[in-house]
Structure 1
Amino acid sequence: MRIRATVAAVSGALALSAFVVPAAHAADGSATPSKADILKLREAAHGASSGKTAFAASDDSGSPYAMDVTFSNFKIAGAVKVGTTNHVSTTVTYTLTHGSDVDITADDFVTGPYLYKGSYDTPDNMLFGNAPATCKITSSTTASCTGLIDIYPGPDDEELVNSDAGTWHGAALAIAYNGQDPNSADFDITKVGYADQGGLGTTLVQRNSTLTVNASPEPVTKGRTITVTGKLARANWEDHHYHGYTGQSVKLQFRKKGSSTYTTLKTIKTDSTGNLKTTTTASVDGYYRYSFAGTTTTPAVNAAGDFVDVQ
C-alpha cells in the first residue's frame, strides 16, 4: 500500500496534499488508516516532542506514546534522477533497534524510510514509499530493514516542484498500532506507539537531464571545419516537459575511431535556450560528443557519440 506524502508551501503555511501509510491491521482486521488519520498521528507525535507541528493542529485528543525504537546505518543512493512523468523508486536499507517491549513481528507494526526537504520539524516536502519496509530479525533487539522511496513527478501526482531539486535528508519511522483502529470511534491514540528519526543521511533528488549532439558535415575533408551542435535540457517538475538548461559549462569531446577514450577538445556554455554550438577542425575519423559534469540539482550526462568520416 502506498506510503507517500507531499507538503507544499501555501500562503506561508505548510499544507499536506497527500499522506498514505501502510495498512494497520486492527484487532478485528478491518481498518486501514486514512490520510487524515495518519496525519493526525504524525502531527500529534511531533507536536508532543517539539511543542510545535509541521502541520495545522487538528484537535487535542492526545498523542501516541514514544516507542523505544531507533534507526541507524541508513543507506541510500547518492542521487536519484527524476524525470517529468515516470514513477521512480530507490532502495533504502537501515537498522532498526528496539526495546524488549516492542514486538516488531506484530501484524500491525509498520516501519519505513522517508526523505524530507528542509527542516525535520517543519519540512517543505516529504517522500515516502508505496509499502512498508521488510525487516529481517538479526538479534533480540535489532532488525535489518529494506524499503523503497517512491517518487511520482507526473501531472496526476505532482509530488515535486523545481525548487525541491537538491539535497534531501533521510529519515525512518515506526508505528505500533497495538490493535487500535484509526477509523473506529473507540480509537485511542495514546495506545499507539510511534518512533520517528531524522538526520540519518542525505541524497540528491535531481531533475533528470538530456544531452544531444550533431557533428556536420558528414563526411568531411581532412582539415576542414566541423560544426558541432547540441542541446542540454532538464526535467521541469511543474509543467512536466524538458527545457534547456542555460548558462552551463559543457565539454566537447572526441574519441578516435578504434579507441575507447574520449579527450576534451574545449569547454563551452549553453545559450539562453540550452543550445550548444562550436567548431573544430577535422583530422581523423572519430566520434564527437558533449559531456556535462552535472550540478547538485541536475545529474551528469553524456551525449551519444556522433561519428564523422574524415576523407
Structure 2
Amino acid sequence: MTITETSRSEFITLRGLRTHVRHWGKPGAPKLFMLHGWMDVAASFQFLVDAMERDWHVIAMDWRGFGETDYPTRHPGTSSYWFPDYVADLEALLDHYQPEGQVDLVGHSMGANVVCIYAGVRPARVRRVVDLEGFGLTRTRPDHAPGRLARWLDELREQPALRTYESEAAVAARLQKTNPRLPDDRAAFLAAHWSRRNAEGQWEILGDAAHKMTNPTLYRIDEIMAIWAKVQAPVLHVEARDSATLKHIAHKQPLEEFRERFRAFPDFREVIVDDAGHMLHHDQPRVVARLIEEFLA
C-alpha cells in the first residue's frame, strides 16, 4: 500500500472536549468534511483520500469517545452517548473550519446518519451529502421503552469492557476477521491508528467501551424522516452489494419496505458498489472516490 496523501493531526476544543482532527491536502483547496462510523477513527478515510483525483482539503475528526478525542464518560455525571451531541459536535466543527458558506459532507455508517440529520436541521448550510452505508437505525415501537430503559440501568451498574490484544498484528487480524476483503497492508495501517499499547503491554482499541451500552431512548423513524424531509441538498447514498449491515438494521422488516424511509429525502439518489461490504471505502476506495467526486462536481 502506498500512501500518496500524508495526513496531519490537530487538536482543538469543541464543546469542552479535546478533539482530534485529521487533515489531508492543502489549505485553500475546497474543503470536504468526512465523518467516520461507530467504533472507527478518522484515519479510516486514508485509502479514500489517496484515491481522489481532485485537490481537496479533507477534514475529519475523531468523534467524541473515539480515537484520540476525549471521552466524556471520564468526567463525573456522564455515562452515555447521545445522538444530539454528535450533531452539535458536527456543527461546532463546521463553525471552526468553515463558518461561512455551504459545506460538503461525507459520512460513513454512524457518521452518515449524523450528516443526514444535520442536513435536515441546517438545510441552508449544506451543499451536498454523501451517505456511505448510512441507513438510519432499526425501527422501534413504544412497547420497547420499558425494557430498553431497564437494560440501560442494569448496564450502568456494570460497565462493559472492550477486548484487548497481545499485539498490533492481532488487532489487524481482528479487523480482517470482520472484513475478509481487507488486505494485509491496509489492515496493518488501520490497526496502528485504531489501537495503542496500554500500561499492561496489551493493545487496546481507541474507543470508549460505553459505546456498547444500550441506548435508553427509542429510535423514532417518523421523527427522523421528518428531519430528512427538510434536507435541501442532494443526497448520494452509496451502498455495498454485500451489506450485512443493511440486513441487520432492517431486522425483520422486508428490505423493500425498509427502503421506503429513503423516500423522505427530497433529492435522493442511490448507487450500489459491487465486491464490497459495509467498509466499502476500504474495499473499493477508487470506485467510491470516483462516485464522490462526480457527485460533488
TM-score band w.r.t. shorter chain: under 0.3
- Higher RCO (C-alpha under 8 Å, 6+ residues apart): 2
When you count strand as a share of all residues, which structure comes out higher? 1
TM-score by length of 2: 0.19
Q: TM-score when scaled to structure 1?
A: 0.19
